[in-house]
């Protein structure tokens, strides 16, 4: 049976879709030529002294482009918040997942990051053929994947995942400010700022602090 959606060509002739968008990476172009559905994956929260590490997986709709997508760290908080809603509205599918403080302390932050990304990909409802991962490490996935250094600035789907993960984690830390007042979580989002370290010295670690991180570990030994 002839596929009515594909032109008939001679056996010796191969016609591939022409990918001319300068914003598309070689890795994306190869997946597009093969007609594969791919997701972008990134995480946020490896550096802070407290809170979960959060990851996101996003399948973007090529017919619904989202301008201004880039590495979430290069965006203002206001722009990230706006893009967060736009991504959720326009994406074919997305999933936000996390690894807990207890898991970070138990298996270390690298493995917890990989675990959060695995959960994000596995949480997608739309079947995905390939995952493009920010960084140089690959999580344990049941589908092919490619690691891309600085992928959050090169691949729109990874940029989108970066924004979702960052905004969700920031919102989680704002919620933690109400539960554990005095540490300034809503302002510094758990990073080891001077204000956070001073509060940590004065109040001691709270349940969401990462026990294996040096500034927290030192206080627990005192």
Q: Is 77 annotated as a binding residue?
A: no
**% of the chain with per-residue pLDDT over 70:** 90
* Residue 75, both tokens: 């965006």
Under CATH, to which class is 26-170 assigned? Answer: alpha beta
Supply the mean pLDDT for the chain. Answer: 90
Q: Is 85 annotated as a binding residue?
A: no
Read out DSSP for the chain? ---TTS----TT---------TTS-HHHHHHHHTT--EEEEEEE-SSSSBS-EEEEEEE--TTS--TT---GGGS-HHHHHHHHHHHHHH-SEEEEEEE-HHHHHHH-HHHHHHHHHHHHHHT-SS--SEEEEESS-----SS-EEEETTGGGT-HHHHHHHHHHHHHHHHHHHHHHHHSTTS-HHHHTT---HHHHHHHHHH---TTB-TTSHHHHHHHH-
| Half-sphere exposure for 26 (CA within 13 Å, toward CB) | 2
**% of the chain with per-residue pLDDT over 90:** 82
Q: What is the pLDDT of residues 131-185, one digit of tens each?
A: 999 999 999 999 999 999 999 999 999 999 999 999 999 999 999 999 999 999 9
Categorize the per-residue pLDDT at 222 as very low, low, confident or very high, splitting at 50, 70 and 90: low
pLDDT over threshold 60, residue 7:
no
Point out the least confidently predicted range of 42-56, 60-74, 101-115, 121-135: 60-74
Parallel, antiparallel, or unpaired: how do β-strands 53-59 and 38-44 relate? antiparallel
Q: Is 134 annotated as a binding residue?
A: yes
Nearest to 80 by CA among 177, 171, 174, 192: 171
Whether 31 contacts 130, CB under 8 Å: yes
Domain boundaries, the chain: 26-170
pTM for this prediction: 0.88
Categorize the per-residue pLDDT at 89 as very low, low, confident or very high, splitting at 50, 70 and 90: very high
Parallel, antiparallel, or unpaired: how do β-strands 130-134 and 145-148 relate? parallel
């Amino acid at each position: 049976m002839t596929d009515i959606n594909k032109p008939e060509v001679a056996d010796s002739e191969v016609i591939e879709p022409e990918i001319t968008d300068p914003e598309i990476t070689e890795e994306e172009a190869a997946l597009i030529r093969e007609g594969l559905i791919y997701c972008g994956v990134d995480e946020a929260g490896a550096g802070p002294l407290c809170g979960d590490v959060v990851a996101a997986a996003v399948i973007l709709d090529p017919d619904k482009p989202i301008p201004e997508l880039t590495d979430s760290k290069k965006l203002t908080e206001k722009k990230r918040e706006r893009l967060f809603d736009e991504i959720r509205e326009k994406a074919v599918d997305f999933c936000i997942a996390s690894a807990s403080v207890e898991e970070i302390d138990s298996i270390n932050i690298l493995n917890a990051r990989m675990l959060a990304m695995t959960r994000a990909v596995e949480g997608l409802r739309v079947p995905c053929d390939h995952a493009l991962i920010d960084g140089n490490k690959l999580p344990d996935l049941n589908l092919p994947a490619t690691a891309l250094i600085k992928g959050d600035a090169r691949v729109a789907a990874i940029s989108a995942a970066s924004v979702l993960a960052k905004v969700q984690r920031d919102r989680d830390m704002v919620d933690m400010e109400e539960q554990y007042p005095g540490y300034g979580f809503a302002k510094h989002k758990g990073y080891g700022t001077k204000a956070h370290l001073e509060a940590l010295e004065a109040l001691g670690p709270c349940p969401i602090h990462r026990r294996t991180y040096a500034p927290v570990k030192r206080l627990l030994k005192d």
